[in-house]
Amino acid sequence: MTRTFIALELDESLQRYLGETIRQLAQELHGPALRWVDPAGIHLTLAFLGDLNDEQLAEAMRATERAA
């Protein structure tokens, strides 16, 4: 099973902006409940498809390619 979602990557300038914002916030906000993410991995999730088996994943990829 593969955890699957459809997402858009953000352009580099927005990733840099978010990265700087995260660094600033991380200096001010601390605690065990906070986990800061790598800005390079930030994306905009359009749809979460859940855990798909290989057949479902292949069909989801075909459907996404047709829609793009």
The CA distance from 57 to 61, in Å, is 6
The CA distance from 32 to 34, in Å, is 6
**pLDDT tens, 22-36?**
999 999 998 888 888
- Give yes or no for a contact between 58 and 34, defined as CB atoms under 8 angstroms apart: no
DSSP H or E run through 21: helix 12-28
- Give yes or no for a contact between 15 and 65, defined as CB atoms under 8 angstroms apart: no
- Give the global pTM: 0.67
For residue 6, give both structure tokens.
Answer: 């459809």
Res 17 pLDDT > 90: yes
Res 4 pLDDT > 90: yes
